[in-house]
Amino acid sequence: MNMHNIHKTALIGTGYWGSIIAKTLTKITKKKIIVFDKNKQNSNLLKKKFKQIVAAKNINEILLNKSIENIILATHPSINFKLGKEVLKKKKNLFVEKPIVTNQNKLLKLIKLSEKNNKIFMGGYIYLYNSFIRKIKTILNKKQLGQIKFIEIQRKNLGPIRNEIDSHLDLGSHDISILKYFFKKKVVVKNIVKRNILKKNISDISSINLKIGQINCEIISSWLNPTKERKILIIGSKKMLVFDEMEKTNKLKIFNKYAFYPPLTKFKKDYTSNSARIYLGKTKKIKVKENDTLRNELIHFEKKCFKNQEPLTNGRFCLDVLKTINYKS
Ligand SMILES: NC(=O)c1ccc[n+]([C@@H]2O[C@H](COP(=O)([O-])OP(=O)(O)OC[C@H]3O[C@@H](n4cnc5c(N)ncnc54)[C@H](O)[C@@H]3O)[C@@H](O)[C@H]2O)c1
């Protein structure tokens, strides 16, 4: 194979998500993309679908290939530490799908190895590259909703059901990454309710209660739900925001609605009321230019590798997410 015709980023793991990554890479480059999966059926299937894909016979065809500078791991958290170490030891830049690993010490070791070898290490917290999430951040920065009172994030679907990690780590970690991106303050988990339904030791449905300064937040994660739901609700003192990813159009809305209890000092002595005052104004549909989030994320990775700069979701960001979830009550 002509070495000049090989894309500098290769992929290990071509299961469900890895296949989507491979497809996205074919939109970024016209060069050959080398992939490897220990399950040959998976990589061969991908090779059949896309002319650009080359299925490596073994992992060393990627690790020892001098034309390959960056490696993406879309494998499982239980194998990512071992594979990640091999990639960094071979002095290649590393992208690992979230949540990377479950153990903080292992993640710290990967970070230190990447720093020692002067290599880029990025985690796949994809929502930080999503145009709606970025728009919500600017809305929050401009304080358009008033003082934030409460946030609820729901991420539910029927599957993919994981064998190794809890639903709050698999799904809720996305939402922790989003909250960390929105606010500069520390995200503190207060408690996690886990519902183990299909297996004894793995939660299928979970709810994380957390605080960011004075703001209460709830994250609900489930892979045991008949419908796909992905919703962020932000209650402000002046307005309320809803981002519904499953809506075809008008995914992001700001409701000019709020409720408050007037201070008791304002009441006449002979009159008190328990009723809150409710304000109902117009709802605004926020226009956001939609683009391919995964493409944005992969281009960010390749650019940062090329410039040798820290990515937005670098190893330390991912460690912060993992530490937040692995809270000790
Ligand atoms: N960013 C996102 O939105 C997003 C979405 C889905 C999944 N993910 C993450 O992607 C990762 C993979 O998830 P998935 O749903 O694709 O799982 P999957 O089981 O469908 O795919 C994993 C693949 O890795 C391969 N693999 C395992 N060990 C290997 C090894 N040692 N060498 C080579 N290949 C190996 C398996 O054969 C399989 O094909 C998970 O960490 C998951 O959390 C991220």
- Please work out whether the CB of residue 12 comes within 6 Å of at least one atom of ligand 1: yes
What distance in angstroms lies between residue 79's CA and the mean position of ligand 1's atoms?
A: 10
Q: Mean of the pLDDT values across residues 161-178?
A: 97
Nearest C-alpha to atom 37 of ligand 1 is from which residue? 39
pLDDT tens for 33-69 read: 999 999 999 999 999 999 999 999 999 999 999 999 9
Q: What does the alpha-carbon distance between residue 126 and residue 253 come to, in Å, rounded to a whole number?
A: 22
pLDDT value for 192: 97
pLDDT value for 270: 59
Q: Mean of the pLDDT values across residues 300-315?
A: 98
- Rounded to two decimals, the pTM is 0.96
Q: What does the alpha-carbon distance between residue 122 and residue 312 come to, in Å, rounded to a whole number?
A: 8
> Looking at ligand 1, which atom is closest to the CA of residue 126?
1
What distance in angstroms lies between residue 308's CA and the mean position of ligand 1's atoms?
A: 26
State the DSSP string of 89-153: HTT-EEEE-TT--S-HHHHHHHHHHHHHTT--EEE--GGGG-HHHHHHHHHHHTTTT-SEEEEEE
Confidence of residue 277 (pLDDT cuts 50, 70, 90): confident
pLDDT value for 262: 73
What distance in angstroms lies between residue 81's CA and the mean position of ligand 1's atoms?
A: 14
Retrieve residue 229's tokens.
Answer: 């739901």
pLDDT value for 261: 79
pLDDT value for 269: 60
Degrees to nearest 5, angle at CA 246 with 240 and 248: 100
Nearest C-alpha to atom 27 of ligand 1 is from which residue? 75
Judged against a pLDDT cut of 90, whether residue 329 lies above it is answered with: no
Confidence of residue 271 (pLDDT cuts 50, 70, 90): low
- Please work out whether the CB of residue 69 comes within 6 Å of at least one atom of ligand 1: no
Domain parsing of the chain, residue ranges: 3-124, 128-285
What distance in angstroms lies between residue 210's CA and the mean position of ligand 1's atoms?
A: 28
What distance in angstroms lies between residue 13's CA and the mean position of ligand 1's atoms?
A: 6
Scored b (16 or more CB within 10 A) or e, 172-206 reads bbbbbbbbbbbbeeebebeebebeeeeeeebbbbb
Q: Which residue from 75, 163, 298 has its CB within 8 A of the most atoms of ligand 1, so it is best to mutate? A: 75
Mean confidence (pLDDT) of the chain: 95
Judged against a pLDDT cut of 70, whether residue 244 lies above it is answered with: yes
Q: What does the alpha-carbon distance between residue 305 and residue 7 come to, in Å, rounded to a whole number?
A: 14
Q: Mean of the pLDDT values across residues 107-132?
A: 98
Q: Which residue from 11, 12, 17 has its CB within 8 A of the most atoms of ligand 1, so it is best to mutate? A: 17
Q: Mean of the pLDDT values across residues 256-276?
A: 73
Written out in words, the top-level CATH class of the domain with range 3-124 is: alpha beta
Q: Mean of the pLDDT values across residues 117-122?
A: 98
Positive/negative CA dihedral, 182, 188, 190, 191 = positive
- Please work out whether the CB of residue 119 comes within 6 Å of at least one atom of ligand 1: no
Retrieve residue 109's tokens.
Answer: 């070791």
- Please work out whether the CB of residue 98 comes within 6 Å of at least one atom of ligand 1: yes
Tell how strand 121-123 and strand 205-212 pair up. unpaired
Best CATH choice for the domain 128-285 from the list 3.40.50.880, 2.60.40.10, 3.30.360.10, 1.10.3470.10: 3.30.360.10
What distance in angstroms lies between residue 16's CA and the mean position of ligand 1's atoms?
A: 7
